[in-house]
Amino acid sequence: MSRRTVKPKPQAAEFTTVVVLRLYVAGGAPNSMQAIANLEAICAEYLKDGHKLEVVDVLENPRRAMAEGVLVTPSLSKLSPQPVAQVIGNLSDKRQVMLALGLKPHGG
Amino acid sequence: MYTHCRGRDRQVGKLGTCDGTVAPSNRRPDIATAKTSVHPLAKLPTGIDGFDQLSHGGFPRHRTSLIIGGPGAGKTVFALQCLVNGARRHRAPGIFVAFEESPRQVIANGATFDWGLPGLAAKKLFFMDAHLSPTLVKAGDFDLVGMLAMLAAKKQEMGAQWIAFDGIDVLRTLLRDPAAEMRELYRLRDWLSDQALTAIVTAKAEGRSAEAGHYGFLQFMVDCVVRLDRRQEDRISASTLQITKYRGSGYESAEFPLSFGPSGIEVGATKPPDIEHKASTERLSAGFERLDVMLGGGVFRGSSTLITGVPGTSKTTLAGKFVEAACRRGERALFISFDESADQIMRNLSSVGIQLKAHVKSDLLRMHSARTEGISAEEHLLKIGALVREYRPQCMVIDPLTAIAKSGALGAARTVANRLIYMIKDDGITLLVTALSETEGQGGEATDLQISTIADTWIHLSYLVRSGERNRALTIIKSRGTPHSNQVRELVLSNAGPSLSDVYTAGGEVLMGTLRWEKEAEESAKKIRYRAEVDHKRRELQFAEANTSAQIKALQLNLERQRAELSLYAGEGDVHTASSSQRESELRRRRGADPAEGPARKNGNGAAR
């Protein structure tokens, strides 16, 4: 499990909403590794302003994952802001991920 | 074709009328006999009535079994029932992974059976909600690694021995990639074999060909495949079960009827055929005396009686009389009717002198009226089974049994009717069922349900229409173990209840009703006339006799007088001769003539005279 928080940059104070994400992965399974990479890329591109990402390894914390309603891995939850959303898969479908997270593509 | 016949054979075998019961073990002697020797494969009994016999012991232990079938075929119930039985009977906890329905739904559905599922679900069973939310967004490939890790943790925690994956086919729609699906299924299989769990996987399959394409590899992967089938027959479905694969074990390969009873799935013709109902020699009244006489003293306790007839032949009246007789003996009775309220039936029966209300009040009699519209035969079976368990009657009436076939397939209804009768007989309840026959005359005695073969006693009621009258006739077609009457009787209903009258046969025709009454009146008039005639004749003869004897007397008197006269005349002749010779000699003496001159003179005198 690892927590990475990117603090919002002070000069971009008008975007104060912090996106809280939680990604459930299964150890070093290929899909899980890809999901982490894909999500980090998206965050770097679109959520520079501020986001919180928690990566939970289901193999290490199966009970917690079960309690939190995880079924398949990898699985991404957007906990805040509302509405909450859930995305499953290795997040290779960038368009779907961004739709679910409520992000607008650049220059679009 | 073969599989079908086998299914039937087993059914027949259950009746004990055919030796088909030995056949199953004969089929694969090499493996079937292995039961007694070393078993190559450890099995876990499912506890499902019949299935353990067909599979020679249950599902393979620590292996995966697949249940495939169309929607509503009973896959979920089957899987859940295995887990429930494992938990209840062997204290083996189980995990149920629900892909299709939420655990709440699964538990609610299972609560309709007598498993005590809600209680078990809290203690021995764990339900995992694998029902993916529709709001879920899929963005790329995923796998089951995380889920299996969670299940492994849960299994460790509760010591689970069984696991069921219900609706694994949902994975296909999610993965949208056959290769990925196959990968996940293999992952699942490897995980299962590592975990030493006995697993049941269910998958939907519409029709045979489609299922073969999609689940061919799934069937190769698992060790045992059970196919559940639900076919539409006459608007209602008939379910069957077939084991199509069992690695390393013998099994019954036929298609067997499957039904849903109060305790869940039961596979048809499954009770060991050698179980016999206790045959009582105690006779019970079938309702009223003359009927009992016809039946050689009544019906046997624990037997089943079938009354057939077209509408209006007083089947219900006879059933009511049977129940009343039971209540009078102080026995508990259950009267199940269809589409007619209990009140109405009691009112109608009271018009022919059958009073049931008092027995209902004293709780000796339970009247139950059920609707038939849109209710399948299996549901009726469930309800009736529950009623019997709850009320525990000694005598029971189902009026009419044919109502269960009203909505739905005839084939299913037949199976259910058989099962119902056997179920009631197993409980030692004396049963009377009525059945509507649709047609009168040839074949009209047989019912659609074909239950006449399993009924012990069969009474048929019919109409005889002649001279503007419709009269009821009662015949006993069969009565097992009883020298019953072969006579047709007229069934007469009056305020005092039903009774039977002898019928007249005149010129080869059976007379009933008014014709019978006329015939009876005619006969009695004839008798009176005859008696009068005889009296008259006797008197005439007596008179003639008296007359004759009087004549005889008169004649005798006459005879005597004549005889007397005759004898008188005979005497007078002598006197006359004597006196004339005396007078002659006197004359001669007086004349002074010669004394007797000799006979010649005398003769001469005589001659001269």
Going through B156-301 in order, the beta strands assigned E by DSSP cover 162-166, 198-204, 224-233, 236-246, 255-261, 264-267, 283-284, 299-300
Q: B153 touching A, CB under 8 A?
A: yes
**Between chains, do A26 and B137 touch, taking CB under 8 Å as contact?**
no
**How confident is the model over B12-22, as a mean pLDDT?**
38
Q: Which residues contact B102 (CB under 8 A, 6 or more apart)?
A: B129, B131
Mutate to test the interface with A, among B102, B145, B171, B172 (most CBs of A within 10 A): B145
A86: closest CA of chain B, how far (Å):
5
| Residue B389 pLDDT > 70 | yes
CA angle centred on B359, ends B291 and B335, rounded to 5°: 65
- Minimum-distance CB partner of B154 among A27, A66, A100: A66
Chain A positions with Cβ closer than 8 Å to B: 24-27, 29, 31-32, 34-35, 38, 58-59, 62-63, 65-66, 69-75, 85-94, 96-97, 99-100
- Minimum-distance CB partner of B139 among A58, A69, A87: A87
Predicted local distance difference test score (pLDDT) of residue B591: 79
Tell me which architecture the domain covering B2-22+44-132+143-267 has in CATH. Answer: 3-Layer(aba) Sandwich (3.40)
A46 located within any domain: yes
Query: Residue B607's CB: how many other CB atoms inside 10 A?
Result: 7
Chain B residue with minimal CA distance to A87?
Answer: B137
Q: Comparing B30-39, B83-92, B144-153, B495-504, which segment has the lowest mean pLDDT?
A: B30-39
Task: Write out the H or E segment, with its range, that includes residue B431.
Answer: strand B430-436
Percent of chain B with pLDDT over 70: 80
Query: Residue B234's CB: how many other CB atoms inside 10 A?
Result: 14
Percent of chain B with pLDDT over 90: 12
Helix axes B410-426, B377-391, angle to 10 degrees: 10
Beta bridge partners of B138: A88
Going through B205-330 in order, the beta strands assigned E by DSSP cover 224-233, 236-246, 255-261, 264-267, 283-284, 299-300, 304-309
Q: Which residues contact B186 (CB under 8 A, 6 or more apart)?
A: B221
Q: B180 touching A, CB under 8 A?
A: no
B184: closest CA of chain A, how far (Å):
11
Mutate to test the interface with A, among B150, B168, B195 (most CBs of A within 10 A): B150
Pairing of strands B255-261, B236-246: antiparallel
A108 located within any domain: no
CA B301 to CA B425: how far, in whole Å? 10
Predicted local distance difference test score (pLDDT) of residue A96: 86
Query: Residue B39's CB: how many other CB atoms inside 10 A?
Result: 14
Predicted local distance difference test score (pLDDT) of residue B200: 92
3-state SS record for chain A = CEEEEECCCHHHCCCCCCEEEEEEECCCCHHHHHHHHHHHHHHHHHCCCCEEEEEEECCCCHHHHHHCCCCCECEEEEEECCCCEEEECCCCCHHHHHHHHCCCCCCC
Q: How many residues are there in chain A?
A: 108
Distances in whole angstroms, Cα of residue B65 to Cα of each of B80, B125, B152, B416, B512: 13, 19, 19, 29, 66
Digit-coded pLDDT (tens) for B396-433: 999 888 887 776 666 667 777 887 888 788 888 899 98
**Alpha helix (H) residue ranges in B115-169:** 117-123, 145-158
Query: Residue A70's CB: how many other CB atoms inside 10 A?
Result: 25
Q: Which residues contact B311 (CB under 8 A, 6 or more apart)?
A: B436
| CATH code of the domain containing A63 | 3.40.30.10
Single-letter amino acid code for the residue at B313: T
CATH topology assigned to domain B283-502: Rossmann fold (3.40.50)
| Chain A residue numbers touching B139 (CB-CB < 8 A) | 87-94, 96-97, 100
Using pLDDT thresholds of 50, 70 and 90, give the confidence band for residue B276. Answer: low
| Residue B11 pLDDT > 70 | no
Predicted local distance difference test score (pLDDT) of residue B38: 46
- Provide the domain count of chain A: 1
**Between chains, do A87 and B138 touch, taking CB under 8 Å as contact?**
yes
CA B409 to CA B427: how far, in whole Å? 27
| Residue B52 pLDDT > 70 | yes
| Residue B199 pLDDT > 80 | yes
**How confident is the model over B121-143, as a mean pLDDT?**
84
| Chain A residue numbers touching B145 (CB-CB < 8 A) | 26-27, 29, 31-32, 58-59, 73
Tell which residue, A30, A8, A32, has the closest CA to residue A18.
Answer: A8
- Residue position matching structure tokens 């960038």: A94
How far, in whole angstroms, is CA B110 from its chain's centroid?
32
Query: Residue B402's CB: how many other CB atoms inside 10 A?
Result: 23
- Minimum-distance CB partner of A29 among B132, B133, B145: B145
What residues does each domain of chain B span? Answer: 2-22+44-132+143-267, 283-502, 504-545
- Minimum-distance CB partner of A24 among B128, B146, B154: B146
CA angle centred on A57, ends A52 and A61, rounded to 5°: 110
Q: Which residues contact A30 (CB under 8 A, 6 or more apart)?
A: A90
CA B252 to CA B43: how far, in whole Å? 16
Digit-coded pLDDT (tens) for B62-110: 888 999 888 778 888 899 999 888 888 888 899 999 988 888 888 888 8
Distances in whole angstroms, Cα of residue B185 to Cα of each of B62, B126, B172, B215, B477: 16, 22, 10, 11, 61
| Chain B residue numbers touching A73 (CB-CB < 8 A) | 142-147
The answer to whether A103 touches A46, Cβ cutoff 8 Å, is yes
| Chain B residue numbers touching A31 (CB-CB < 8 A) | 140-143, 145
Going through B437-593 in order, the beta strands assigned E by DSSP cover 457-466, 469-479, 489-494, 497-502, 504-506, 509-511
CA A76 to CA A31: how far, in whole Å? 12
**Between chains, do B150 and A38 touch, taking CB under 8 Å as contact?**
no
A63 located within any domain: yes
How far, in whole angstroms, is CA B500 from its chain's centroid?
22
Digit-coded pLDDT (tens) for B430-478: 999 888 876 555 454 556 667 777 788 888 888 877 777 778 888 888 8
The answer to whether A59 touches B130, Cβ cutoff 8 Å, is no
| Chain B residue numbers touching A71 (CB-CB < 8 A) | 129-130, 132, 146-147
Chain B residue with minimal CA distance to A39?
Answer: B139
| pTM of the model as a whole | 0.56
Tell which residue, B605, B9, B540, B462, has the closest CA to residue B255.
Answer: B9
CA B565 to CA A44: how far, in whole Å? 177
**Between chains, do B146 and A59 touch, taking CB under 8 Å as contact?**
yes
Chain B residue with minimal CA distance to A60?
Answer: B149
Tell which residue, B385, B386, B396, has the closest CA to residue B333.
Answer: B396
- Domains B2-22+44-132+143-267 and B283-502 are alike in CATH topology: yes
Chain B residue with minimal CA distance to A57?
Answer: B146
3-state SS record for B507-552 = CCEEECHHHHHHHHHHHHHHHHHHHHHHHHHHHHHHHHHHHHHHHH
**Between chains, do B142 and A75 touch, taking CB under 8 Å as contact?**
yes
A106 located within any domain: no
The answer to whether A7 touches A50, Cβ cutoff 8 Å, is yes
A30: closest CA of chain B, how far (Å):
9
Chain B residue with minimal CA distance to A29?
Answer: B145
Mutate to test the interface with B, among A23, A25, A34, A72 (most CBs of B within 10 A): A72
Predicted local distance difference test score (pLDDT) of residue B335: 92
Tell which residue, B143, B247, B243, B126, has the closest CA to residue B187.
Answer: B143
**Between chains, do A58 and B150 touch, taking CB under 8 Å as contact?**
yes
Task: Write out the H or E segment, with its range, that includes residue B75.
Answer: helix B75-89
**Between chains, do A90 and B141 touch, taking CB under 8 Å as contact?**
yes
Most confident of B15-29, B143-157, B381-395: B143-157
| Chain A residue numbers touching B152 (CB-CB < 8 A) | 62
A95: closest CA of chain B, how far (Å):
8
Mutate to test the interface with B, among A57, A84, A88, A95 (most CBs of B within 10 A): A88
For chain B, helix, strand, coil in percent to 5 are 45, 25, 30
B63: closest CA of chain A, how far (Å):
23
Residue A64 sits in which domain range?
A: 2-9+17-101
Digit-coded pLDDT (tens) for A37-94: 999 888 888 887 788 889 999 999 988 988 888 888 899 998 888 888 889 888 988 8
| Residue B33 pLDDT > 50 | no
